[in-house]
Amino acid sequence: MYSRSQLRRGLRNPNLFFRELNRLYHRRLYSRKYNTSGVDIFYEDWDNLIVLDACRYDLFRDRYRGEGKLEDRISRGSSTTEWLRGNFKDEKLLDTVYITANPQFYRHQDWLNTRFHAVEHIWKEEGWDESRMTVLPETTTKSALEVAEEYPSKRIIIHYIQPHYPFLTEDKQPFDDEQAFFNPDEVDSWIQMMTGELNTDREVIWQAYQETLDRTLPLVEKIITKLEGKSIVTADHGNMVGDRARPFPIREWGHPRGIYTEELVKVPWLVIDNERREITVEESTDTQIDIADDTVKERLADLGYR
Domain annotation covers residue 24: no
CATH no. for residue 168?
A: 3.40.720
Domain annotation covers residue 186: yes
Measuring CA to CA, how many Å separate 77 from each of 16, 197, 250? 20, 27, 20
pLDDT at 4: 59
| Statement: the pTM of the whole predicted model exceeds 0.85 | yes
Rounded to the nearest 10 degrees, the angle between the axes of helix 202-226 and helix 137-150 is 20
DSSP bridge pairs for 56: none
Going by pLDDT thresholds of 50, 70 and 90, the confidence category of residue 193 is: low
Rg of the chain over CA atoms, in angstroms? Answer: 19
Residue 267: helix, strand or coil by DSSP? strand
Q: In degrees rounded to 5, what are phi and psi of residue 199?
A: -105, 120
The total of structural domains in the chain comes to: 1
Dihedral sign of CA atoms 259, 54, 108, 45 in order? positive
pLDDT tens readout for residues 60-86: 999 999 999 999 999 999 999 999 999
DSSP bridge pairs for 157: 49, 98
Domain annotation covers residue 104: yes
Domain annotation covers residue 15: no
User: What is the pLDDT averaged over residues 157-162?
Assistant: 98
Q: How far apart are CA 173 and CA 252, in angstroms?
A: 20
Going by pLDDT thresholds of 50, 70 and 90, the confidence category of residue 259 is: very high
Contact 94, 283 (CB under 8 A): yes
Domain annotation covers residue 182: yes
Going by pLDDT thresholds of 50, 70 and 90, the confidence category of residue 182 is: very low
Domain annotation covers residue 8: no
HSE at residue 274, side-chain half, CA atoms within 13 A, is: 17
Contact 229, 149 (CB under 8 A): no
Q: How far apart are CA 240 and CA 254, in angstroms?
A: 5
Query: Residue 49: in which H helix or E strand, if any?
Result: strand 48-53
pLDDT at 180: 39
Q: What range defines the domain where residue 185 resides?
A: 35-302
Residue 4: helix, strand or coil by DSSP? helix
| Alpha carbon of residue 225 to chain centroid | 23
Of 156 and 275, which is predicted with more confidence? Answer: 156
Domain annotation covers residue 138: yes
- DSSP H helices, 246-292, are 262-265
Which DSSP state fits 129? B
What percent of the chain is modeled with pLDDT above 90?
64
Those residues with Cβ within 8 angstroms of residue 94's Cβ, 6 or more apart along the chain or in another chain: 115, 116, 117, 281, 282, 283, 284
Domain annotation covers residue 294: yes
